[in-house]
Amino acid sequence: MPLDKEGVAAALDANIETIRTYVEDDGDLIERYQEAFRDLPARGTAEELRSELSRFSYPGAVPVEAFDKCDSLINHHAPSDEWESHEAVNDWARDLLMDVPMLAADGSEIPPTTQFNVPLAYVQAAWCLNHHSPEGELERAREGKLLGPMDVTRTGGEKGGEEYRFVDSSLVGLHRYEHEAEVLIDQIEELAATYEAGSSDQPPIVLYDGPLVVSFANPKRPAVRTRYLEAVSRILAASQHHEIPVVGYVAGTNAVELSKMTRLLLQEEFGSDRTVPDARILAGMMSPWGDSTIPFMCRRDGSVDGLETSYKGREYTFGNEIYFSYLKVPPGAGLDRLEFPGWMLKADGPAHHENLYEYTLAMVRAEAGVGRGYPEVLQQADTDAVLDHRDRQQFLRLLQKWGEENDVPIEWDAKALSKELRRR
């Protein structure tokens, strides 16, 4: 049966006040946070504020050296003051990006084949390297991985006196995450080798589609959480070892680190007031295009302390080494969040850039400008990686044909077969 449109409309009407309360700003609270954000640089040095926050294990954010050099949390992007069209943005961005290698990766998946008597799945990662050369050189590739029955099932304990296994679809997401991480690490190593060989005068940059702070893994089973942390830790270690900048790009973030830090520093002023997403506070303090915040260290929760691994014979820990900043790139009123390893703040940048972070921020901003609000190279990786319904149907047909050709007894589940026949 089709969607019950009248029922959905009635349900929306019945919940109008709840929904409106959620999406509408608490104007007074937002203004109070904005005033507090403006006053923070005059409250003390980064070291003094860190001392105040030291009694909290996870204060959200912690000021760092850049805090002592600013009179505002926001760095204005002056070039945008002169722009009157998107063509002006493109001209500025393309000039800035010339000969800067920028790589992005993304992934997709086909869920377990519950239609058959054998559960199989497929994950795919795509990477795209834009050299931003005058010739328009673009490298792209996809790498897939088949997941067998033992990859997509797990033990459910005892049933009828025997151990049994069941399909756990969430394991496909984990394998996809790990596969994407390994593909990205391979590309970091390739970029480092070609850069050291003198292929480019500009340091390459890697964009990761998602956060480097994997709080989403906290509710998962300990063994699964550890694997997520290990995957992102290896990306960070490869980045630091090879000195290739990596940025976790989070579009439309609802993170609350700065408002949590501010509420803890100003407990008398904010009392039990709730935290508000940083983006909702900062957006009204920024000019229309390109402004960013100064960087802060992320101390969100225990997931940052779980970032540790070994790479190339060396041990790495990143508990106090994940930093973030916010970037405003229209369209839309929201902000994007950049997460990056702290070594980038200490590494020298190319000419006209204070450090490698400032260089990376400038290039990511430009790439988002070309992409009309979202980095173009990430858009390309997403397009290449996606596995749609047609791909999934083709996967099922290939699997069935393979089973027939190799005398492997792959059979349709009766319920799934009934659905398939009715939908043809």
Q: Which helix (H) or strand (E) holds 74?
A: strand 74-75
How does pLDDT run across 132-167, given as a tens digit for each residue? 999 888 999 999 999 999 999 988 755 554 567 788
pLDDT the model gives residue 329: 92
pLDDT > 90 fraction of the chain, expressed in percent and rounded: 71
Question: Span 325-330, mean pLDDT?
Answer: 94
Distances (CA, A) of 29 to 37, 60, 74: 12, 19, 20
Cα angle value 26/32/37 (rounded, 5°):
120
Q: How far apart are CA 402 and CA 122, in angstroms?
A: 15
Q: How far apart are CA 140 and CA 105, in angstroms?
A: 10
Question: Span 167-178, mean pLDDT?
Answer: 93
Q: For the chain, what are the domain ranges?
A: 76-255+300-387, 388-424
CATH code of the domain occupying 76-255+300-387: 3.30.420
Q: Which of 50-54, 89-93, 303-307 is least confident?
A: 89-93
Non-local (6+) Cβ contacts of 34 within 8 A are 281, 284, 285
pLDDT > 70 fraction of the chain, expressed in percent and rounded: 93
- What DSSP string describes 75-120? E--GGGGG--SHHHHHHHHHHHHTT--EEEEEEEEE---TTBSS--
Q: How far apart are CA 397 and CA 58, in angstroms?
A: 50
pLDDT the model gives residue 417: 38
Q: Residue 257 CA to chain centroid, in angstroms?
A: 16
Q: Residue 203 CA to chain centroid, in angstroms?
A: 21
The percent helix, strand, coil of the chain (3-state, each to 5) is 45, 20, 30
DSSP conformational letter for 130: E
Structure tokens at 386: 């996606």
Structure tokens at 380: 């390309």
Confidence check: pLDDT of 393 > 80: yes
CB 248 within 8 A of CB 321: no
Q: Is the pTM of this model over 0.85?
A: yes
- What DSSP string describes 401-415? HHHHHTT----B-HH
How does pLDDT run across 110-139, given as a tens digit for each residue? 999 887 888 889 999 999 999 999 988 899
Burial class (CB in 10 A: 0-12, 13-18, 19+), 337: buried
Beta bridge partners of 296: 63, 324
CB 295 within 8 A of CB 66: yes
pLDDT the model gives residue 338: 98
Q: How far apart are CA 109 and CA 215, in angstroms?
A: 21
Confidence check: pLDDT of 174 > 50: yes
Q: How far apart are CA 192 and CA 194, in angstroms?
A: 6
Q: What is the mean pLDDT of the chain?
A: 90
